[in-house]
Amino acid sequence: MAAKSSFSDPQWWKEAVVYQIYPASFQDTNGDGWGDVKGITSRLDYLKSLGVDVVWSSPIFKSPQADMGYDIADYKDIDPAYGTLADVDELIAEAAKRDMKVMMDLVVNHTSNMHAWFLESRSSKTDPKRDWYIWKPPKSVSPTGEPEPPNNWAQILGEANSAWTYDETTKEYYLSVFTPEQPDLNWENPEVRAAVWDVMHFWLDRGAAGFRMDVINMISKVTSYPDAPVVLDPASHKYQPGTQFFTNGPKLHDYLQEMHREVLSKHDTITVGEMPGVSDPAEILRTVGAHAGELRMIFIFDLVDIDKPNVRMALKPWDVKEMKGIISRWQRAMIERDGWNSVFIENHDNPRSVSRYTDDSDTWRDKGAKLLALMQTTLGGTLFVYQGEEIGIRNAPLDWDTAEYKDIETVNYWKKCEAIYAHNPEKLAEGRKIIQMKARDHARTPMQWDSTPNAGFAAEGVKPWMRLMDDWPTVNAAAQMQHRSGNAADDDEELSVWQFWQRGLADRKEHKDVFVYGDYEELSPQDENVFAYVRTSHNSTGGEKWVVVLNFSGQEQSYHGVPGELEFWAAGTYTKGRPEKATKGGSVTLRPWEGVLGKLKA
Ligand code: GLC
Ligand code: CA
């Protein structure tokens, strides 16, 4: 590591454990089957006991909910379904009492088509806000009067459609890369940027600790709006992914630096930019480098996009070596290049990790979830835990009717399948399988709190906005918290997934020099089943060394690469918390999906 690196300089936002809440599905308190801000406040003690420091909620602002709040109609007000501004003030105050912070979701690549700015913009070509959005005349109009969009870009949440939406009022198209209900703001216009800074000040002044920034790498577009290259079969895809022309565009860093100058530099914030589709370390370091003056960290998507070909709703085989490679590459990159990263494996846009990276059958779900918890809590970076991940919630099963899926992306995808595969049962079945594996809905089912009716998410008799998983009577937070009645020091009993997370978060904090700030070295990158690494602290007192060995397979594995003598095994994902066979000469035998953490002798 370079001598002057700031990587290990302590910062609260590096050590913080952030918990992402999907507000509609977290806790309903007023009997409408929809989670609310008061529900979040009522669960702060739960989050505190898990080890959470910062609560980030997906958007709770006024919204027609075309994309579950990622279509905002008023940045300075709360959607009545979620509550009021006063409820948010209370949430922030109650969090502060518990030494916790609240982070907002900043969705400013686009607004809702019902935002006052957009209603003005669409009203006429000469409206002062016309240029706040991206308007273009049709590329052509057919003799029968059919307009053709300005280019061939596909909509992200409905790839069968154009990214441009035609508006009859002025007979022009507006850019809407996600859905027609989410018109893209024109960041080239300084008035738009000033309006965004104003929104940010509004929330920081109210006590928010910072922002997660929705698709923040899409705010600068290639303004010649060229056609995208044809990568999807043109016979079935009229429109093509145009992402290369609007991710990490030409002015992204100018805008982020201006944001830093105008807003962030004036507050002590936590900021994380959502940046899908970018994998070039040099480009990423321009944002998250210690001296970049842009954002604290971003979400890099290489891991959760491991099985993403050109479109998200598709399956691609992947293997453990590929997964290890991705994680190790980013662990090393931040250390070597003096940057900072987030650690996450779930969010509201991805299926459940236990289903995706391990085995979610009744036999292995619990082990798989603990394996992932051990990995997440021992990697370097700021750790993000997603609602329900701490109890190992899995994907909904294949026998759920497609009508249970509410997400606009899934709905659009299934519509397309039904239209083109009406007479092809095999293809239709494949489409259903893709939904079962990849739909965003899996992360959005109501939280499973306890074994009372509606899993404690809503009162008895209330119909939750989305179907609960069927396994809530057994898979729920209360059962997992009570799991070990007695002595936490008694190693003879296995921890529940929740307790394993709690232990992991506490250990991470106790040994933050190692797990948050320490060096990272992957062991045996060629091993096809075992993911192993060493974390070392950079203390002046001489580095502590810890080893993590994770069996990402359903078979027993003998691993021989433990470097050096063990002082002790600190944690394991199986009964007794320890691997049965202690290491000798660097060997350890791991049962299916078993993971172990040990301290090495100095
Ligand atoms: C981000 C959000 C996702 C949303 C999209 C458009 O990717 O996480 O939920 O659909 O942006 O706002
Ligand atoms: Ca409610």
Last residue of a domain, one of 175, 195, 218: 175
Closest residue by Cα to residue 438 from 299, 353, 314, 310: 314
pLDDT score at 158: 87
Q: Is 45 a catalytic residue?
A: no
Residue 577 in this model has a pLDDT that exceeds 60? no
| Ligand that comes closest to the CA of residue 247 | 1
Q: Work out the average pLDDT over 97-120.
A: 98
Residue 585 in this model has a pLDDT that exceeds 70? no
Question: Checking DSSP bridges between strand 210-213 and strand 270-275, what pairing results, if any?
Answer: parallel
Query: What is the whole-number distance in angstroms between the Cα of residue 26 and the centre of ligand 2?
Result: 10
Asked if residue 553 belongs to a domain, the reply is yes
| Ligand that comes closest to the CA of residue 70 | 1
Q: How far apart are CA 281 and CA 334, in angstroms?
A: 9
Q: How far apart are CA 282 and CA 288, in angstroms?
A: 10
Q: Which of these ranges, 69-73, 423-427, 488-492, 523-527, has the smallest mean pLDDT?
A: 488-492
Q: Work out the average pLDDT over 344-350.
A: 98
Asked if residue 534 belongs to a domain, the reply is yes
pLDDT score at 92: 98
- Give the residue, out of 21, 109, 349, with the most ligand 1 atoms within 8 A of its beta carbon, to mutate for a pocket test: 349
* Per-residue confidence band for 2, with pLDDT thresholds at 50, 70 and 90: very low
Chain position carrying tokens 């056609």 = 227
* The two three-digit tokens of residue 286, written as one number: 């321009």
Residue 576 in this model has a pLDDT that exceeds 90? no
Angle (nearest 5°) at CA 69 between 404 and 472: 40
CATH of the domain at 124: 3.90.400.10
Asked if residue 125 belongs to a domain, the reply is yes
Q: Work out the average pLDDT over 361-365.
A: 97
Percent of the chain with pLDDT over 70: 95
Closest residue by Cα to residue 214 from 370, 361, 13, 71: 71
pLDDT score at 270: 98
* Amino acid identity, position 101: K
Residue 286 in this model has a pLDDT that exceeds 80? yes
- What is the per-residue pLDDT across 164-217, written as a single tens digit (0 to 9) for each? 999 999 999 999 999 999 999 999 999 999 999 999 999 999 999 999 999 999
pLDDT score at 238: 94
Residue 581 in this model has a pLDDT that exceeds 70? no
Asked if residue 546 belongs to a domain, the reply is yes
Q: How far apart are CA 307 and CA 294, in angstroms?
A: 30
What atom in ligand 1 is closest to the CA of residue 178?
6
Question: Is the whole model's pTM more than 0.75, yes or no?
Answer: yes
Asked if residue 549 belongs to a domain, the reply is yes
- What is the per-residue pLDDT across 264-281, written as a single tens digit (0 to 9) for each? 999 999 999 999 999 999
* Per-residue confidence band for 87, with pLDDT thresholds at 50, 70 and 90: very high
Query: What b/e string do you get for 12-48 counting C-beta neighbours within 10 Å, with b at 16 or more?
Result: ebbbbbbbbbbbbbbbbbeeebbbbbbbbbebbebbb
Query: DSSP string of 344-358?
Result: -S--TTS--HHHHHS
Range of the domain at 120: 116-175
What atom in ligand 1 is closest to the CA of residue 70?
12
Q: Is 274 a catalytic residue?
A: yes
Closest residue by Cα to residue 500 from 586, 405, 378: 378
> Exposure of 119 by Cβ count < 10 A (0-12 exposed, 13-18 middle, 19+ buried)?
middle
Query: What is the whole-number distance in angstroms between the Cα of residue 353 and the centre of ligand 1?
Result: 19
Kindly report the number of other CB atoms within 10 A of residue 400's CB atom.
20
Closest residue by Cα to residue 335 from 51, 14, 54: 14
Which residues, 6 or more positions from 118, have their beta carbon under 8 angstroms from its beta carbon? 111, 112, 132, 133, 183
- Give the residue, out of 20, 61, 65, 70, with the most ligand 1 atoms within 8 A of its beta carbon, to mutate for a pocket test: 70
Q: How far apart are CA 455 and CA 472, in angstroms?
A: 6
Last residue of a domain, one of 175, 204, 220: 175
Residue 310 in this model has a pLDDT that exceeds 90? no
Q: How far apart are CA 73 and CA 559, in angstroms?
A: 55
* The two three-digit tokens of residue 4, written as one number: 């002057």
Number of domain units in the chain: 2
Number of residues written out for the chain: 602
Asked if residue 379 belongs to a domain, the reply is no
How far CA 129 is from CA of 117, 186, 229, in Å, comes to 7, 10, 32
Q: Work out the average pLDDT over 47-62.
A: 98
Q: Work out the average pLDDT over 298-322.
A: 90
Angle (nearest 5°) at CA 586 between 583 and 588: 45
Q: Is 104 left (phi over 0), alpha (psi -120 to 50) or beta?
A: beta
Asked if residue 33 belongs to a domain, the reply is no
pLDDT score at 441: 98
Q: Work out the average pLDDT over 253-260.
A: 98
Residue minimizing CA distance to atom 7 of ligand 1: 215
Query: What is the whole-number distance in angstroms between the Cα of residue 421 and the centre of ligand 1?
Result: 28
Mean pLDDT of the chain: 94
- Give the residue, out of 178, 350, 411, with the most ligand 1 atoms within 8 A of its beta carbon, to mutate for a pocket test: 178
Asked if residue 221 belongs to a domain, the reply is no
Query: What is the whole-number distance in angstroms between the Cα of residue 335 and the centre of ligand 1?
Result: 29
* Amino acid identity, position 453: P
Residue 505 in this model has a pLDDT that exceeds 90? yes
Percent of the chain with pLDDT over 90: 88
Question: Checking DSSP bridges between strand 61-62 and strand 54-57, what pairing results, if any?
Answer: unpaired
CATH of the domain at 526: 2.60.40.1180
Pocket of ligand 1 (CB under 6 A): 67, 70, 107, 178, 214-215, 274, 348-349
Find the helix or strand (DSSP H, E) in which 226 lies. Answer: none
